[in-house]
Structure 1
C-alpha cells in the first residue's frame, strides 16, 4: 500500500489489460444506460456518430475504476475529491482496455497534517492505442503515521 510520502510527481502506474465483451456492454447498458447505441447493434450502426455498438462511457469509467484499484494501491482506498473526465473515442466490443496513471501534483494539507491531495492524470487506451477515456482526478491520501486504522 502507498502513502502520501511514497508518492512523487511524475510517478507512473500501468494496469493490466481488460477485455470489454459485447455481452458485458449490453448487460451494463440495459441496467444503467439504455440508449440504442449501447443496447442494439443494428440501431447503433445507423447512429451518425457511433456507427456501431459502443459501450456506455460510464461503463468504460467503471472499468477504469477497477484498473485504478488494481494498479494504484493507495492505503485506505482511492478516496476521490473531484474528477474531470472525457471520452474521446467510443469503447467497442472486444476492446482491450489498459490505463496509465501519472501523478501531476501533491499538496500536503495545511489544516490536517496527516493527509494531502494527490492529482493524477489517467489515459485509457485500447489495443490500437486509441484513447478511450481521460481524466484528471484528485484523491485524498493519508500519511503513513495517520491515525486511520
Structure 2
C-alpha cells in the first residue's frame, strides 16, 4: 500500500480509535453469545444487530491497521508561506465576512466539525500551495464560494 501522510495529532487519534475499537471486542462477543442463547435464529434481531455491529467494528479495525501501518507522520517542513498538509488556515468568506479556521489533514483524519479539512476536499484542493492574501473559489452545490486566505500557520 502507498504511504499515507498524517499529522502527528491525527496519527495519535487514529491509534486511540483503534485501541478503543479493539477494547469493544469482548463486549461484542458477549452480546452475540447472549443473543445466540435465545435459540430462535429465524427472527433474532438482537443476534443480527450484534453480528452487524461486530462486522462494522472489525472492518474499521482492519482499515485503521492498514492506515497506521503505512502512515508517515508529517513534520510540516517546506515553504512556510504556502498551505501544506498540516497547515492551519484562517479563511475569510468574502460574501459573509465570516472567518473560518481549518487544519488541512489526510482524508482519514478529516472531521470538518472539528476544524479538520481533507486535502482531497474541494476546499482543501483549492488551498494547497496557496499563499496568505490569495483568494480561492470553491464550487459547492449552493454555488461558488469565495474565500481569502487571511492567515497560514505551519
Question: When the two structures are superposed, what TM-score results if normalisation uses the length of structure 1?
Answer: 0.28
Higher relative contact order (CA 8 A, sep 6+): 1
Larger-Rg structure:
2
